[in-house]
Amino acid sequence: KSFGSIGGYIASDDVAFIRFMQRKCGASVYGDSLFSAAAEQALSSLRVIRGEDGSDGGIQKIRRLAQNSRYLRQELNKIGMLTLGEPAAPVIPVLLFNPAKIAAFSRECLKRHVAA
């Protein structure tokens, strides 16, 4: 999902792991395979991140994303919100203990252009 193409996929050169996932994961039975345009988009993103395009733009964006994630997590914690996950992870799970506040929280996030 982090490559902005489609869905989520697992890749490995470990044949035993691949076979295990194929047997145990329902998505491999009922899901579709990755189509070529989405695969190329993900590969192109990896090339940019690795700097194979001749720039450092990819790594700079990854660093900025990590900094922004740490900052947001820190600020959420300052106001008493409980966050989970790794400090620099771009996905920040927030626990809301009052079910009545979930919809309001989501609306406020959308109003401020924060994904919720």
Give which of 50, 13, 10, 52 is closest to 33, Cα–Cα.
10
Between residues 26 and 106, the one the model is more confident about? 106
pLDDT at 95: 84
Between residues 99 and 35, the one the model is more confident about? 99
Between residues 2 and 18, the one the model is more confident about? 18
In angstroms, the CA 103 to CA 80 distance is 19
